[in-house]
């Protein structure tokens, strides 16, 4: 299959798939070529989209699938289609809960609440309702609390290829060269001797 023929088929399939997207494997199956060829085609297509300024669309890898999306530079025009842009974004409480679940999954509600120091029932319910987290099992032992994990929609919502693409968790607060425990002790003694 020549390159143009391959590219036109990839574009057509991804156009039809819309926000469901397609995996490399599915594309290879429907176009009847090797997955290697699809990967080369996708990369060529991405180059064309991004180089040609007349294109308003581009390729994005989302939640394990490839999808066609609009380019960020046309966002201002597309945002005119949105009726109420503000009510869609997550609150800081929801984002906090979601960060905890995303990095430490699976987590129970009680574990999330311990870490945040505040009740988190409602943010969790909101996140579940928006299909960003879901029940992924039950904790061992009595109570058998619900364990929460992130969903495919979570990856989609934050524009991630897969869960490993999450930005690394911010490291512990910059420490001095001294060991923090030693520091405590010294300071502790200083405090008391002064009093």
Helices (H) and strands (E) in the chain — how many of each? 9, 5
Of the pair 87, 191, the CB lying nearest a second copy is at 87
Q: Which residues ranging from 2 to 31 are in contact with a second copy (CB under 8 A)?
A: 3-5, 7-13, 15-18, 20, 22, 26, 29-31
Task: Pick out residues in 34-53 that bind other proteins (CB under 8 A).
Answer: none
Give the CA-trace dihedral at 119, 168, 60, 69, to 10 degrees. 40
Integer angstrom CA distances of residue 109 from 82, 125, 169 = 34, 10, 20
Owner of token pair 């060269």: 177
Member of 51, 170, 181, 194 binding a second copy (CB under 8 A): 170
Contact 7, 41 (CB under 8 A): yes
Is 132 a residue that touches other proteins (CB under 8 A)?
yes
Specify the stretch interacting with a second copy by CB under 8 A; choose among 54-62, 104-112, 136-144, 156-164. Answer: 54-62
Give the residue, chosen from 18, 34, 35, 55, that forms a contact with other proteins under the rule CB under 8 A. 18
- Residue 40 or 157: the one with the smaller Cβ distance to other proteins is 157
Residue 141 binds to other proteins (criterion: CB under 8 A)? yes
- Is 19 a binding residue for other proteins by CB under 8 A? The answer is yes
Counting contacts by CB under 8 A, is residue 17 touching other proteins? yes
**How far out from the chain centre does Cα 128 lie?**
15
Least Cβ distance, residue 53 to other proteins (angstroms): 17
Quick one: what does residue 94 bind among other proteins, a second copy, none, with the CB cut-off 5 to 8 Å set by partner type?
A: other proteins
Reduced to 3 states, what is the DSSP secondary structure of residue 60?
strand
Q: Are 121 and 112 in contact (CB under 8 A)?
A: no
End-to-end, the C-alpha distance of the chain in Å comes to 84
């Amino acid at each position: 299959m020549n390159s143009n023929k391959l590219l036109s088929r990839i574009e057509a399939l991804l156009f039809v798939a819309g926000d469901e997207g397609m995996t490399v494997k599915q594309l290879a199956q429907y176009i009847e070529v090797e997955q290697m060829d699809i990967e080369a085609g996708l990369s060529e297509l991405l180059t064309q989209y991004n180089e040609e300024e007349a294109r308003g669309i581009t390729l994005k890898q989302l939640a394990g699938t490839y999808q066609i999306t609009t380019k960020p530079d046309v966002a201002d025009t597309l945002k005119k289609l949105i009726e109420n842009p503000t009510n869609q974004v997550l609150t800081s409480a929801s984002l906090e809960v979601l960060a905890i679940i995303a990095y430490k999954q699976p987590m129970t509600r009680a574990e999330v609440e311990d870490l945040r120091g505040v009740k988190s029932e409602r943010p969790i319910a909101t996140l579940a309702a928006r299909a960003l987290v879901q029940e992924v099992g039950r904790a061992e032992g009595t109570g058998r609390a619900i364990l929460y994990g992130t969903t495919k929609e979570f990856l989609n919502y934050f524009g991630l290829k897969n869960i490993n693409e999450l930005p690394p968790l911010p490291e512990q607060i910059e420490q001095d060269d001294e060991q923090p425990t030693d520091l405590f002790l010294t300071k502790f003694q200083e405090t008391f001797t002064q009093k």
